[in-house]
Structure 1
Amino acid sequence: MEPEPEPIAEAVVEPFAEPEERNAAVARRFFHEIANGGNLDALGEVFAANYRRHGPDEVPETAARPGEPPAPGGARGPEAVRRELLAWRAAFDFSFELDRQVAEGEDVVLLWTWTGWHKGEFEGIPATGEQCAMTGTVLFRFHGGRIAEGWWHYDRLGLMHQLGAA
């Protein structure tokens, strides 16, 4: 059994009357301060050490080809988030706009719009210099005031089409 993550310090996110308010504030902090603002040093304050990401690029274990080992589960921990953000930043100058947020219990759902300029290679596609946009949602599950799991859904096919690859 993995250890429970420590709650976020009061100095990181103001104390709130309800966990939903705190969780919603932490989710917004990820988008505003980390994803948009680039403060990767704050990842350990926002994500649990055993954070697990699920997304459209994750291959389910049942989809492994015959004779090949199953694909691993989603990326884990704040360092995996750091690597993913750095990879997206290498390919795009981007920002997120939060369109809607709903919080209930340990779950926070955000609807977002992402816009970016394609400045570097992305999945084998050389930089186009074009502006791209996509919409998506993420469901974050919280534990102890930190994001423990994230289910990402976004228009990856639409992005690839804008890059001329689909």
Structure 2
Amino acid sequence: MNPVRRRRLMWIVALVAAASLAASLVAMALQRNVAYLYTPSEVLRGDAGEHARFRLGGMVAADSFKRTPGSLEARFEVTDGDARMPVSYTGILPDLFREKQAVIATGRVVDGRFVAEEVLAKHDETYMPKEVADKMGIAHKKHDVQAPAAGGASAQPTSPAAP
């Protein structure tokens, strides 16, 4: 092989190696930031996987909130109507956080307890992310509960019925 062709081949090999390294780094960064939403029932069934980072969604169970005196550590349970998952969080909770309200927590399961890194409280009764609305709809059907007429991300505004 002549030297010019060898130099071109080396440049092409280096370019392909650099492109594959860049693609691998981007894929790892995106994978690390992905967090799937699971309900307590799905987590206890093992759908979330061990040591995986995910979002836990449901309602804060009544009479489950406890705060350690003199610290920012909070403990509560999240329920979906079928199961309850204990959650611990160290930090400032959102203003709208309270029992019997919807919550989404991001974190991992450690020794049977969900350790949250971030806690989000539902801010409005009219909007709910589609994936949460779908899972709540399944829970309503399972427990034979009357679902709200309007709700969910795909709900269209309705006009009052004509007499």
Tell me if TM exceeds 0.5: no
- The answer to which structure has the higher strand fraction is 1
**What range describes the TM-score normalised by the shorter chain of this pair?**
under 0.3
Question: TM-score, normalised on structure 1?
Answer: 0.25
Q: Which has the higher contact order (CA 8 A, sep 6+)?
A: 1
Question: TM-score, normalised on structure 2?
Answer: 0.26
